[in-house]
Amino acid sequence: MPADLLETLNPEQRAAVTAPGSALVLAGAGSGKTRVLTTRIAWLIQTAQVSPMGLMAVTFTNKAAKEMLTRLSALLPINTRGMWVGTFHGLCNRLLRIHHRDAGLPQRFTILDGGDQLAAVKRALRALDVDTDKYDPRKVQSFINQHKEAGVRADRVEAWDPYSRHLAEYYAAYDAQCQREGAVDFAELLLRAFELLSRNALLREHYQARFRHILVDEFQDTSRLQYEWLKLFKGPQGALFAVGDDDQSIYAFRGAHVANMRLFLHDLAIAEPIKLTRNYRSVSTILDAANAVISHNADRLGKDLWTDAGAGEPIRHFEAGDDAEEARFIASEIEARRSDGEPYRQQAVLYRANAQSRAIEHALFSAGIPYRVYGGLRFFERAEIKHALAYLRLAAWPDDDNALLRVVNFPARGIGARSLEQLADDAAAAGTSLWAAACRAGRKFVPFVQLIEALRQEVTGLGLVAAVEHVVVRSGLLEHYGNDRDGAERIDNLTELANAAGAYAAESDDQSLEGFLAHAALEAGEHEAAQGQDAVQLMSVHAAKGLEFFSVYLTGLEEGLFPHDNSLNQQGGLEEERRLMYVAITRARRQLYLTHARARLLHGQTRYALPSRFLDEIPAGLVRSLSRRIAPAPSVAVAPAAAPVRRTASQPFQVGARVLHPRYGEGVVGAYQGQGPDTEIRVRFPKVGDKWFILDYARLTAVG
């Protein structure tokens, strides 16, 4: 029966599944990686090379582990309960629970998530009477995690100055506190499990004898410590089977070490990886573009994807005047493809930075196109944006109780729940707002009251963009997130809020803070698509890994944005950005759009950028550039309306003229709005009613 498992595999997949001993499988995007991994497990069990309890499979997400077990159950009639299939952290937790005494832990040790860990760090610092203005708890937490992830304990930290020596002391104090309390953070799970197997030869030999086959998914994303942990399980007779793609290694910021793939070949004396290059996802035009881009990276293991699915349509490239035009163009193309029968859910808009979603969300919202932000929050729902809007609301109207409750202790001012309960009681008793009660309260609320009073005075007379920028800085939000290990993206979002204000002022001719706050509230309303509704998917390129769509709109392809400025100053940074571009391209199955803007609003200022170098790395023969398409003037005279509109280059049809649209049929021009490249035209169609088009992309012709 083994042939039944193998008969549907292509030759490359079959070679991987049946490889003797250890192997590295270089699995290209869309090449059937998960299928190979699960079939390998089933084949090993079915051919009696190992029992279900004699192998271990490691993934990076619980979702991937569950999918592996589900597929395995479909391939073989076995009970998967009890199999060692899970994430690195999940399997380390399992190991430490079984051998808690040897690991120096209580049987019921607790696991700290990120928030719990930060609270524990703060307690440790308070116990040492540390000045938290000088040693921010988030930076201390980051210092601890970075060293644990590198396998370095506090007594081995290289400290060359008083500052780093103090950080090492706080690391040691935090660890001692966790040990007393029987608590383990995420980084500790892996490090403690690694140390357990490293020092305990009997235990290590037991697991080496038990797990004769170890299989690893997404091997390109492993850290140095994770790879060393895996090697501890591989005994002299064991086999380590790793599946990954060095061209899709995009998580260096999380500690991923792409060089592990070459180390694997060296350490296990493997001459060449097994390459899976046949792609079952995309048309060849998209694959040829991906191959061309990634070929500019040096030190690859090397592979070219191919398919027999045909060439498909050319990649479509659009250069916009600014980011607003870019977003409107995308919305227009999405609607056109939807009219051609392509569901919204099979169309995805990808961006390098989450802050880019704001302009795209606005364009989709304005066009009435349903959307969902995948793996994240819509712009106006993000915590840092809500904090900033709360400060702006208080600057405009301090009696806003909800806004006050949101930021009265953010950033932290030592105002706890008990103080807020007393404040609420005082306000209720006096029949006033919380703000009025705070003005009467004791010294604990004085700094906050003084801050809001200052904001109210300082924004008076400022333009809208300047007012937003001032409040974001003066509130302390920028400084707060600047001290956060993962705060860079939140800072980008806060600066994008000023862009949102600028866009609102330009569109509405309104500079009032009150007007902008009302606009933000409307866009933050229940406009996102409901669960299960057909909707466009918006996401960062990082979040898109592992997903696929009929059509992909890859936006913001400008130098400094993609590739990102930060990458150009880091060793290997540009190569990782190029791998990110490769991942983005290979998400598309049928159609890929590449867009960029000559000008983009950043920090409330217009920034002019060059097109991304990645565009130049795609062969011109694969790309069709979309220029503005303005329909010609009608060739026959049209009877003048009561108030005729003169035909011009920007208004090629008179109001009342009959026009033809390739999808909606014949209609009548009703109105124009806007000017220049922003000109929009309204056409009334008998079957579908009024439709607004960006004139440059309207694809209208005169009926005469």
Q: Which H helix or E strand runs over 589?
A: strand 588-602
Phi, psi for residue 611 in degrees, rounded to 5: -60, 150
* Contact status, residue 703 vs residue 631, Cβ threshold 8 Å: no
Task: Report pLDDT for 642.
Answer: 31
Q: Give the model confidence (pLDDT) of 543-563 as tens digits.
A: 899 899 999 999 999 998 999
Task: Report pLDDT for 646.
Answer: 40
Start-to-end CA span in the chain (Å): 71
Q: What is the pTM of this model?
A: 0.75
The SS3 of residue 408 is coil
Q: CA distances (Å), 214 to each of 37, 135, 203, 275, 560, in order?
A: 11, 42, 17, 19, 41
Task: Report pLDDT for 628.
Answer: 47
Sign of CA dihedral 511, 514, 517, 521: negative
Mean pLDDT by 10 residues, the chain (704 residues): 77 94 94 92 92 92 86 85 88 91 89 84 90 86 92 90 91 92 90 95 94 94 94 91 93 88 93 94 96 94 92 94 93 92 94 89 91 81 90 89 88 86 89 90 89 92 89 90 78 86 79 82 63 87 92 95 86 93 96 94 73 94 72 32 44 82 81 70 76 77 79
Structure token pair of residue 548 = 């696929």
- Long-range contacts, 570-573 (Cβ 8 Å, 24+): 572/252
CATH 2.40.10 fits 628-704, yes or no: yes
Pick the CATH number of 380-523 from 3.30.300.30, 3.50.50.60, 1.10.486.10, 3.40.50.1360: 1.10.486.10
How far apart are alpha carbons 385 and 377 in whole angstroms? 11
Task: Report pLDDT for 191.
Answer: 95
CATH fold of 110-181, please? Arc Repressor Mutant, subunit A (1.10.10)
Task: Report pLDDT for 147.
Answer: 93
CATH fold of 2-97+192-276, please? Rossmann fold (3.40.50)
Locus of tokens 């200022």: 605
Domain ranges within the chain, ordered by starting residue? 2-97+192-276, 110-181, 315-373+528-625, 380-523, 628-704
Count CB-CB contacts under 10 A for residue 325.
23
Q: Give the model confidence (pLDDT) of 119-177 as tens digits.
A: 889 999 988 998 887 888 888 999 999 999 999 999 999 888 888 899 999 999 999 99
Q: Which positions are catalytic?
A: 33-34, 217-218, 248, 587
Query: Do the domains 2-97+192-276 and 315-373+528-625 sit in the same CATH topology, yes or no?
Result: yes
Dihedral angle, C-alpha 246, 251, 252, 258, nearest 10 °: -20
Task: Report pLDDT for 248.
Answer: 93
Task: Report pLDDT for 522.
Answer: 67
Locus of tokens 């333009």: 463
Domain boundaries 315-373+528-625, CATH class: alpha beta
